[in-house]
């Protein structure tokens, strides 16, 4: 059973609809005990980093997330991925969950030739696998994914970068450390590739752990 964390900042409908299409058992909850009992956790996210952290604080979910993320598979989506990092500059400095070393910064909006470019980064963009042998990418081929974001991750450790796209520079698209995986794009909106990625998260993490 996967628990989708409800903290009033995630696109729960699109995520749960994708899980239903894949016949992946799941619940939507903000109850700490249910999060502890789940086999894996998904943290969706849409909106502002500081608001999201404030909401997680108000629901008293940060400590349980940090505890459970080192024990079981954990998947952050879009803003949910950004929350995995140490901090963000969105709306001023805010601390994140600290599960992956690094920070979140806004796209510069000006390229190396001093020409402006569009922010947010929105639409379909091709992925490049940085660590193609990682279990989350097993059986997958480089494909396009759907992005909508104005801020991007700057991981401190290159080993945490699993895949990236290019938009006026390298954009970390999939990151991971231990049980924790994050996708900057929306898998639930990324057609067949996104469905396969969610299926991999379930099969390569949840099911493999249950077999041990």
Question: Tokens representing 151?
Answer: 């801020």
Contact assessment for residue 62 and residue 26, using Cβ atoms and an 8 Å cutoff:
no
Residue of 26, 121, 179, 186 marked catalytic: 186
Burial class (CB in 10 A: 0-12, 13-18, 19+), 113: exposed
Catalytic residue among 26, 68, 179, 188: 188
Q: Quote the tokens at residue 202.
A: 């379930």
DSSP string computed for 108-154: -SB-TTS-B--SSEEEEEE-EESSTTSGGGTT----EEEEEESEEEE
Angle of helix 62-69 relative to helix 49-58, nearest 10 degrees, comes to: 100
Which of 78, 130, 149, 179 does the annotation list as catalytic? 78
Contacts of 63 (CB under 8 A, 6+ apart): none
Q: Is 188 a catalytic residue?
A: yes
Active site residue 67: no
186 is catalytic: yes
Residues designated catalytic: 78, 186, 188
């Amino acid at each position: 059973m996967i628990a989708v964390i409800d903290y009033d900042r995630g696109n729960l409908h699109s995520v749960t609809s994708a899980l239903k299409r894949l016949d992946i058992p799941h619940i939507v909850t903000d109850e700490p005990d249910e999060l502890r009992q789940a086999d894996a956790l998904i943290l969706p996210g849409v909106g502002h980093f500081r608001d999201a952290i404030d909401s997680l604080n108000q629901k008293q979910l940060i400590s349980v997330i940090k505890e459970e993320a080192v024990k079981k598979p954990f998947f952050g989506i879009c803003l949910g991925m950004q929350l995995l990092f140490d901090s963000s500059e969105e709306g001023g400095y805010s601390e994140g969950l600290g599960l992956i070393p690094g920070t979140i910064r806004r796209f510069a909006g000006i390229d190396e030739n001093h020409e402006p470019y569009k922010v947010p980064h929105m639409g379909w963009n091709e992925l490049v696998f940085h660590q193609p042998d990682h279990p989350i990418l097993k059986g997958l081929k480089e494909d396009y994914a759907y992005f909508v974001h104005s801020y991007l991750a700057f991981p401190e450790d290159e080993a945490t970068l699993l895949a990236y796209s290019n938009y006026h520079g390298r954009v970390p698209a999939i990151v991971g450390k231990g049980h924790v995986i994050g996708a900057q794009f929306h898998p639930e909106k990324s057609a067949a590739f996104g469905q396969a990625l969610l299926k991999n998260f379930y099969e390569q993490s949840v099911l493999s752990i249950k077999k041990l």
